[in-house]
Amino acid sequence: MNFSDFSFWWVLLLVGIPFFTIRYIAKSFNLWRNAFDSIGLMVLSLTLFVNASRTSFAVFCFEIIFNYVMVYFMLRRQGWQAKAIATTVVVIDIAILAYFKYVNFFVESVVGLVLPGIAESWKGIPGSGAIPPGISFYTFQMVAFVVDSFTSKKKQPIGPINYINFVSFFPQVVAGPIERRSDLFPQIESFRFKFSWENFETGFQWLSLGLFMKFVLADNLSPFIDLKEATNAWLVWFHAFLFTLRIYFDFGGYSFMAVGLARIMGVKLTLNFLAPYTSQSIQEFWRRWHVTLSTWFRDYVFLPMMGANKRLAEFFLFLTFTLSGFWHGAAWNFILWGAYHGALLLLLRYLTRQRQTPIGKYVAKMPALLSWALTFASVTLGCLFFMETDIARLGQKIVTLVTPWAYSLSNLTGAFSNPDFSVNQLWTLGFTLFLSCGLLLLEHMAIWQKRKSEYDLLLSPWVSRILLALTVLLAANEPSKFIYFEF
């Protein structure tokens, strides 16, 4: 769901207020049945989904019906029959995703090189245009459910309403977190709204943090990110740095809002981010960034591909990260981004194994501050691949970054004498960066103090209320689109 869209909150109130009013009155007269909570959640989720995107909703409904029927029969079969059904469902789910998300890329970028005229004729074919919002996320959640149901020792039947609520749970259906059957389904099965002061307070704290990260930090940084600058190395780094902050505050903000909304209803979602910019290695970064996607690729791509053949683990790791990059978008820059992170992981794995060499000893004993700085710089460079979809301009930026004289003093002094922004806009940028660094510092402090959560300091009651007040005062006039809605 698009939490920055007014219609989301309007529909939520338009459906929610009458439903909970009727629920309260019926409970007063002992007329309410527990099953009505599950039905109400289903209606609410589906209504919000169809309001967000009718195209995606149509695809979603087809996949729901198809997956549920197939899983229903799969759970009643044994051996090769159950495996054949599971394989068929997974293949068809991925094929649907590939059609909407990758066929256009394949025709234009691969087939179009051989037959240039085919790309133009392809544009008129249905499904070759915009990607249905959320299809990458709900498809992966459905695939995981099929695999987990197949491997589960308990082949219990699944009710249709419970299944619909699992795959359509409105806080996370469009942009995650990608939930597993073992984590979310027990909470959704025979669902009951669990309103309590504790759930409301915890949900409010996550919601306040998410709103602040998205509407104050991410949206105020967005206008200052210039993709066209490619000749001044200082500015290329600066805009990549701004994007590095923005993508975390944007996607992390969405994820925390989803956690907050779910918690108010009594559901605990998986934390998709664990203060990733506090990481001191690329391995640690990927344990903290987009956690549910990383574990999805680990469990359903990397481990099955590798199997017992651990001698090729590095190759399969690199391939998995390249595929994860392709998942983010049907463009070459995303493939390069995935391959870049895969190569970094392989390099670090190699260096840590060389403990007896001078380089290996230095890497093992590297100061924490230097490890963090190198990791953050590596992530920032990777964001350059992520943000720049123009391959020619991306190549020009890479050349600029490796050209020594692009870091000249004249480039440095001229980098920020930009007449395109007013004094007020520059003050907005400076203050937003100040708030951004303050938030990241509080994440670092929580880890240094070994608190129970990376966001412990940001979730305290008084900080949450300050963040909400700052959101009301400082929210950007024009909210930017959620970055991950494009994937």
Q: Please, which residues have CB within 8 angstroms of residue 410's CB and are 6 or more apart in sequence? A: none
Strand, coil or helix: 21: helix
Q: Look up residue 41 and give its two tokens.
A: 């959640």
User: Do residues 327 and 136 make contact, with C-beta atoms less than 8 angstroms apart?
Assistant: yes
Strand, coil or helix: 448: helix
Q: Look up residue 455 and give its two tokens.
A: 């966001």
CA–CA dist 361, 10 (Å, integer): 58
Active site residue 290: no
Q: Is 207 exposed, middle or buried (0-12, 13-18, 19+ CB in 10 A)?
A: buried
Q: Look up residue 145 and give its two tokens.
A: 């459910």
| Side chain identity, residue 81 | Q
Closest Cα partner for 72 from 183, 187, 162?
A: 162
CA–CA dist 91, 414 (Å, integer): 54
CA–CA dist 315, 332 (Å, integer): 20
Phi/psi of residue 242, nearest 5 degrees? -60, -40
CA–CA dist 101, 113 (Å, integer): 19
Q: Which residue among 239, 290, 328, 341 is the active-site one?
A: 328
Biggest alpha carbon–alpha carbon distance for the chain: 79
CA–CA dist 120, 419 (Å, integer): 40
Q: Look up residue 473 and give its two tokens.
A: 């005062």
CA end-to-end span of the chain: 14
Phi/psi of residue 80, nearest 5 degrees? -65, -25
Active site residues: 328
